[in-house]
Structure 1
Amino acid sequence: MAQETTASTTSDAAAIVDAVGGPDNITSLTHCATRLRFQLRDGSGVDKDTVEKIPAVMGAVPQSGNRYQVVIGGAVATVYNEIMALPQMSAMGSGGGGKKPSDAEVKAAARQGGIRGKFGWVDTFFEFLSDSFRPIIGVLLGASLFITFMALMSTLGVIGNWSSGEAQLPPSWAFINLCWRCVFYFLPLSVAYNATKKVGADPWIGFSVMAVLLLPGFMTADNSLMADSHVAHVLGQDINIVHVFRQPFPIFDHQLPLTIFDYGQQVFPPLLMAGVLGPLYKLAKKIIPDNLQLIFVPFLCMLVMIPVTAFVLGPIGVYAGAGLSTALKAVNDLSPFIFCLLIPLLYPFMVPLGLHWPLNAVMLLNIQAIGYDYIQGPMGAWNFACFGASAAVLAISIREKDIEMRQTATGAVVAGLVGGISEPSLYGIHLRFRRIYPRMLIGCVVGGLIQGIGGGVTTNAFVFTSLLTIPAFSNIPLYAISVLSAFAVAFVAVYFSDYRTAEQRAEAKQRLAQERDEHEAKQVAHESRKAEHEAAKTAAGPAPAKTALEPNAVTQVLSPLAGRVIPLEDVPDPVFSAGTVGRGVGIEPTGTTVVSPGDGTIVVAQATGHAFGVKLDNGIELLIHVGIDTVNLEGRGFDVKVAKGDRVTAGDPLVTFDPEVITEAGYSLVTPVLVTNVRKFAGIDRIGDGEVNPGDAIIQTTAKPPKEPKPAAE
């Protein structure tokens, strides 16, 4: 089984590469929590429908600048690794002939088009933000569950204050508290590493530069007996300033002011640092000889970037983040009601564009600076409205037996309710079916209204808004009622109005019918092999001779019911008429009883009575499908006479049906009679014409000629 799964995954990986134009069309490939992110040489020729038909794919999202996103879901890392392991991917981006695209070509492709869109630098900026956080989403999710557990224990009165760095907890609980605090306190190092890597510099240099600002010695520099320091009040925060370099360097006329700040949990400073380090690193690589780069490139970068970050970029990042936080807090303080409505209504449009990353950074800064955050509560209203809409799609797909959408929606709902991740819902469903958005916004409004009326909610730690993290919020009943109401309202709005247009529903109906037809044909073949294998093990005597499969044998297939024979091409179903599931004829019935066309075994007998698979003793495998799309009747109007595994002889009844029930429901009575093991025959031809009765010949099969003996080796 493991081998089959691996093979399937590898097959999907290869299909994805082919669907986006092959390795020569791929300039670069990365992935986020749920999506493969391709940078293509030419994205205009990629067929979205082809990509989305691949089993592993939940959705496809063409973007500006020849960017292309393929939504996979939780298995994205596995699929990514499978793609990168494909032999053909060794030539990725070669553009044919082994020619690697130039830096100018890659840059032009990356900045082409764009809103993020019309301006390439906007696309690049948000890609930089996204890739700086993407690799650490997993540990942030893990930390969220620790936070939820601690919040729940505090709510139950087991422990006291847990969210503050100065919290006094028993040693055991203090240790558990460190399990999530470590992730967020050292978040600047993780962001510095990822952001530096994104700009093409050595990520360990960025890590080391940012680490200086987190050293205990840096934090206590203003406590030195020799320190010349004072306190400045900036944007509502007390900032310690210590003056340095006067004593050892008397050539300076003035001491340099060094801002002492707790950079734990800060994300703006490492982003700024990486943005400056990238060009410096590339310059150093150009001017320093190759044989000296290992030592002097890191040295030069650290020599420049450590003081620049400590004296300039770090404070700028702190003040910029504090300014944005202060502006948002002013709106929240002015009217929490408006704020609680504004955030849920903005997020559905910000997340698909990646514009939510700056707000995520502000959330972290709020917790570090003021001890709580007020954005995550309203954001939860949007998230749960999003998940409610996806749950409605899941319910509709279950109702309509849409296996493909059911799989997509199941993954999206689980990722949302358990992990608080909205991307599978957005990219796998919502952006594909635009009717969802206005209905989902109703849920956002309801959730935001409830929080606004209740005065808003806060949280003491950064969490992903899921079912599991509800206890992490200050007013648990208010928050729970708001998000569950957002979920319920979005669910009802989408479920009862559907998420598709009339045209999309018709297309889905046709697709489902085709899939069922193909499945039934495959089921006939599978059950025939199975029945043959079981018969071989238990047969007391010799198996029936497969006379129809003997070389050059010509065999007639008899009609299973009375009616008028029509060519297969005239059957009103594209799967049947194209011969996708087998070759044969269609019959417009005048009778109401389907009988076995020969001696054999029933290998498929649908409980609904609409389809039967018969393995004839002569080796022919038949599918008899009574009417078109009649599976939707769920057995109404059908009286089934046989079951799977039954032995039948020619003329034995299989089912009787009521033609009025079928026609009143709007379905065609045309009954395809198909030979499904077509590869066994050299020819399958229609010989019946016009009116026929049960037992009249309608199809003729011609077996393949004998294989020519291989020439003897000389």
Structure 2
Amino acid sequence: MRKYELLAADIVKLVGGKDNVISLTHCITRLRFRLKDEGKAQDDALKALSGVVTVVKNAGQYQVVIGNAVGDVYDEIVASQGIEGAGGAAADDDGAKKDMSLLDRFIDLVSGVFQPVLGVLAASGMIKGLTALLGALSIIDPKGGTAQMMNIVGDAFFFFLPVMLAYTAAKKFRMNPFAAMTVGAALVYPSLAQIMGGAPLYTLFAGTPFASAVHIEFLGIPVLLMNYASSVIPAIVAVYFGAKVEHFFARVIPTVIKGFFVPFCTLLVVIPLTLMVVGPVATWAGQLVGAAAMAIYDVSPVISGLFIGGFWQIFVMFGLHWGFVPVMLNNIAVYGYDPLVVTMFGATFAQIGVVLAILIRTKDQGLRSLSIPAFISGVFGVTEPAIYGVTLPRKKYFVLSCVAAGVGGALVAFFEIHIYMYGGLGIFEYPCFVDPATGDLTGMYNGMIVSLVSFVLGFLLAFPVYRDEAKEATSLAVTTTDEKTNAVQREILAAPVAGKVVPLANVPDEAFSAGILGKGIAIEPSVGRVVAPADATVTTLFPTGHAIGLITDKGAEILIHIGMDTVKLEGKYFHAHVQQGEKVKKGQLLIEFEPEKIKEAGYPVVTPVLVTNTASYLDVVPTEAGTIAENENLITVVA
């Protein structure tokens, strides 16, 4: 079995199955589903999967946060689950958008167009930044063959960016992608530069900000030629317009000649109108957007940096950061640099500063196992594991990271740091602060100072105040062992299974043994039945019957997982007696299973019983007994 085949199958099943999926894309850390009915998705079950960090719903997308392995999981879903990738919109997509707000539609549009190209976009920016850095340090000759070759590698994507965006926009607007790419290619057609280099016939709008030289006419109509290399808005608007034209011709042209006549008519109409009207108007719109962004920044650069830096991680959580991507790219295309969106730079380092403080202070091995990879990912700019796995569940520390990030943003503005190309994240962003025109390294050095200050401030804010929740709980529990005291509220969970008690650390699955999914205990069953550990509601019942999630009437969230990898049995040897959403009483039969047959099939039957909202409690204390009977006291949670 391939590495992510089981995870891919579980994710698709828990989002409501293949038939519930309209489209699927992914970014650096998240699978981004468009679902017909989000109500069919099982949020808690998805969050409980080993390999899934959390679930986020935003802008009409159902986002499953995976982390660094998201590309591999995405590829496995596309390969094994029969779901088309690349974000192609289905016919039902229009209906799915009806309930979306204008902001949600804008975010959905921007993310859909830019997500597929972000990896190559960042890589090209990193190469351009590295080339500028090596030239500034005199490691290579800026005019030599090595620099020229590296410039070709780094510039190729950006020069033909209108073609790339035309392709992704075609997927979004449902236009023939090759027709759309032809429109994008027309914007960067080499002869346009030669024509623009000649003497103009006359000038339109002379004396206004929109003054434009006219070099050619088409059917007697003036054509306003502009430089569209590396531009963002013109290609997207042109493809939106092109999709409408193409759909019109597809409706009116007879089927027998559609194959070639629809693109013939589409290109003959769209490309001239793009060069004469759409391109110039979109370019002017881009210049206005850039001017507006700069005007906001100029009011108070430091306050702008404080705001964007401080709230950046919140923007990322809700997907709102996508609204800033075109602003940054547009500023770089119009001015050659961006001074505004770059103020988010310190957020990454503030986050990992807090994570390092927690990593050093905590004695919780489960939290340590989360913090180490989260810290490493954050160094390279991927902060979702840090946010969702470490700081956000401990809200105070997430707020502290935002404070440090705000200070970092204000410093970016104070030092007047500009980003000259969209490149990598984290430490890979340093070369993007090198001015490629002058080779000035000041921005990079100041960027290093900002990252260091943000990191140290995040660490210093969190380190003195952090207290390990488990440690607090232990000290408090010592003073409240008398059954008569009411100093704390407790809930006692009964054993849902009879058998031998097994420490969680001995369970042969890291997600359980490391406490990643929550604290608790495991039982080697002596009988094949699971009963309710308390009065509760069934929140999750896996279709295979191998696991069940409950929330008790007092608020404890319980996961009972029968055996290891038993999902592969696809329900064989399991029989559920309750349904999802059903209210159950303590001791009520939930699931029957056949332990011996499960063992004969090659699967361990050790059954973890976890309190998945462990972070909501001061302590989760399992029994010290060696064996336990059904309905005996198994776990005590201290609220």
Same fold by TM (over 0.5)?
A: yes
One-letter amino acid of the counterpart of residue 262, structure 1? N
Report what 1:184 is aligned to.
158
Tell me the SS of whatever aligns to 1:270: helix
1:151 aligns with 2:132: yes
TM superposition shift of 1:334: 4.6
What residue in structure 1 maps to residue 625 of structure 2?
672
Could you tell me whether the CA contact under 8 Å between 2:308 and 2:341 is conserved in 1? no
Name the residue aligned to 1:230.
203
Within the candidate set 400, 404, 408, 2:364 is matched to 400
CA contact (8 A) 1:191 1:267 kept: yes
Q: Distance in 2 between matches of 1:377 and 1:29?
A: 29
CA contact (8 A) 1:241 1:259 kept: yes
CA distance in 1, matches of 2:376, 2:55: 20
Residues 12 and 56 in structure 1, CA contact (< 8 A), matched pair in contact too: yes
Q: Which of the residues 427, 445, 451 maps onto 1:467?
A: 427
- The DSSP-based 3-state class of the residue aligned with 2:423 is coil
Is 1:123 equivalent to 2:97 in the alignment?
no
The question of whether the paired residues in 2 share the 8 Å contact of 1:235 and 1:319 is answered with no
Q: 1:282 to 1:234 in 2, by over 3 A?
A: farther
Equivalent residues in 2 for 1:299-338 (5 A)?
Answer: 299-338=264-303
Alignment of 1:398-547 (within 5 A): 399-402=363-366, 406-407=369-370, 409-418=371-380, 420-426=381-387, 434-454=395-415, 456-473=416-433, 474-497=442-465, 517-520=503-506, 522=508
Rounded Cα–Cα distance in structure 2 between residues aligned with 1:437 and 1:669: 29
Conserved 8 A contact 1:111-1:124: no
In structure 2, the CA distance between the partners of 1:578 and 1:357, relative to structure 1 (3 Å rule), is closer
Is the CA contact 1:386–1:440 (under 8 Å) kept in the aligned structure 2?
Answer: yes
Residue in 1 aligned with 2:21?
A: 26
What's the offset of the Cα at 1:579?
11
Superposition CA RMSD, Å? 4.3
Q: Which residue in 2 is equivalent to 1:289?
A: 254
Report 1 or 2 for greater relative contact order, CA contacts < 8 Å, sequence distance ≥ 6. 2
Alignment of 1:48-447 (within 5 A): 48-63=43-58, 65=60, 67-86=61-80, 103=91, 106-112=93-99, 114=100, 119=101, 121-158=102-139, 169-224=143-198, 227-230=200-203, 239-245=212-218, 249=219, 255-392=220-357, 399-402=363-366, 406-407=369-370, 409-418=371-380, 420-426=381-387, 434-447=395-408
C-alpha distance in 2 between matches for 1:234 and 1:424? 54
CA positional deviation for 1:256: 2.4
Q: Secondary structure at the match of 2:224?
A: strand
Q: Deviations over 1:225-261 (max 9, x none)?
A: 6x5143867997875333413xxx4xxxxx4232222
1:270-316 Cα offsets, whole Å, 9 max, x none, are 11112212222222222222221210111111111101211111112
**Amino acid in structure 2 at the alignment position of 1:127:** D
| TM superposition shift of 1:339 | 3.3
Q: 1:393–1:212: structure 2 CA closer, same or farther, 3 Å change rule? A: farther
User: Structure 1, residues 94-153: CA drift from partner, whole Å, max 9, x if none?
Assistant: xxxxxxx994x54333332x4xxxx1x432332121121111111122223313322322
Q: Taking structure 1 as reference, are residues 43 and 439 closer, same or farther at Cα in structure 2, changes over 3 Å only?
A: same
- Residues 235 and 326 in structure 1, CA contact (< 8 A), matched pair in contact too: no
User: CA separation in 1, counterparts of 2:558 and 2:278?
Assistant: 67
Equivalents in 1 of 2:258, 2:90: separation in Å?
Answer: 23
Distance 1:172 1:486 in 2: 36
Alignment partners' CA distance in 2, 1:152 and 1:124: 39
The answer on whether the counterparts of 2:140 and 2:146 sit within 8 Å (CA) in structure 1 is no
- Whether the 8 Å contact between 1:222 and 1:229 is mirrored in structure 2 is no
Contact 2:431 2:444 (C-alpha < 8 Å) held by counterparts? yes
Q: In structure 2, how many angstroms separate the alpha carbons of the residues matched to 1:232 and 1:374?
A: 30
Q: Is the 8 A contact 1:436 1:499 kept in 2?
A: no
TM-score normalised by length of structure 2? 0.68
The one-letter code sitting in structure 2 at the alignment partner of 1:149 is L
Shift of 1:499: 10
Judge conservation of contact 1:58–1:71 (CA < 8 Å) in 2: yes
Distance 2:242 2:264 in 1: 13
1:10-25 matched pairs, under 5 angstroms: 10-25=5-20
CA contact (8 A) 1:269 1:314 kept: yes
1:301-348, CA deviations, whole angstroms, 9 ceiling, x for partnerless residues? 111110121111111221111111112223434543333323313433
Q: Secondary structure at the match of 1:30?
A: strand
Task: Supply the AA of the counterpart residue of 2:177.
Answer: P
Q: Flag structure 2 segments of 5+ consecutive residues without an equivalent.
A: 434-441, 475-491, 510-555, 565-603, 612-617, 632-639
Counterpart contact for 1:200–1:278, Cα < 8 Å? yes
**What is the rounded CA distance, in whole Å, between the counterparts of 2:620 and 2:315 in structure 1?**
45
Asked whether 1:37 is paired with 2:11, we answer no
Distance 1:216 1:147 in 2: 22
Normalising by structure 1, we get a TM-score of: 0.61
- C-alpha distance in 1 between matches for 2:466 and 2:409: 24
Equivalent-residue separation in structure 2 for 1:47 and 1:470 (angstroms): 41
CA distance in 1: counterparts of 2:315 and 2:557, whole angstroms: 42
C-alpha change, 1:39 and 1:390, in structure 2 (3 Å) is: farther
Contact (CA 8 Å) 1:285, 1:297: kept in 2 or not? yes
* Whole-Å separation in 2 of the counterparts to 1:242 and 1:143: 33
2:507 and 2:387 map into 1 onto residues whose CA distance is 35
Matched residues, number: 503
* Alpha-carbon distance, 1:670 to partner: 5.6
* Aligned counterparts, 1:603-682, within 5 A: 671-674=624-627
CA distance in 1, matches of 2:366, 2:16: 29
Q: Per the alignment, do residues 142 and 394 of structure 1 end up closer, same or farther by CA in structure 2, a change over 3 Å counting?
A: farther
Evaluate the alpha carbon distance shift between residue 581 and residue 134 of structure 1 in structure 2; reply closer, same or farther with a 3 A threshold. closer
Structure-1 separation of matches of 2:339 and 2:297: 8
Q: 2:512 aligns to what?
A: none
**Contact in 1 for aligned 2:342/2:418 (Cα 8 Å):** yes
Cα distance change on mapping 1:368 and 1:47 into 2, 3 Å: closer
Deviation at 1:436, TM superposition (A): 4.3
Question: Retained in 2: the 8 A contact 1:71–1:428?
Answer: no
Q: Secondary structure at the match of 1:329?
A: helix
Alpha-carbon spacing, 1:392–1:127, altered in 2? closer, same or farther (3 Å): farther
Alpha-carbon distance, 1:366 to partner: 3.0
Go from structure 1 to structure 2 and tell me whether the alpha carbon gap of 1:451 and 1:76 turns closer, same or farther (over 3 Å shift).
closer
Cα distance between partner residues in 1 of 2:50 and 2:560: 23
Distance 1:521 1:333, change over 3 A: closer
Aligned counterparts of 1:199 and 1:42: Cα–Cα separation in 2: 22
Q: What are the Cα deviations for residues 333-391 of structure 1, in whole angstroms up to 9, with x where unaligned? A: 45433333233134334334444334332333333333332235412123332443455
Unpaired segments ≥5 residues, structure 1 = 91-100, 163-168, 250-254, 524-573, 583-620, 630-664, 676-683, 687-714
SS of aligned partner of 1:220: helix
Residues 349, 316 of structure 1: CA spacing in aligned structure 2 closer, same or farther, 3 A cutoff? farther
Distance in 2, matches of 1:151 and 1:288, equals 52
Q: Which amino acid aligns with 2:308?
A: I
Once the two structures are TM-superposed, the CA of residue 86 in structure 1 deviates from its matched residue by 3.6
SS at match of 1:29: strand
Cα deviations by residue, 1:388-420 (Å, 9 ceiling, x for unpaired):
345556556x741116x734x5554444422x3
Which one-letter code corresponds to 1:520 in the other structure? N
Match for 2:266: what amino acid? C
Distance 1:88 1:472 in 2: 39
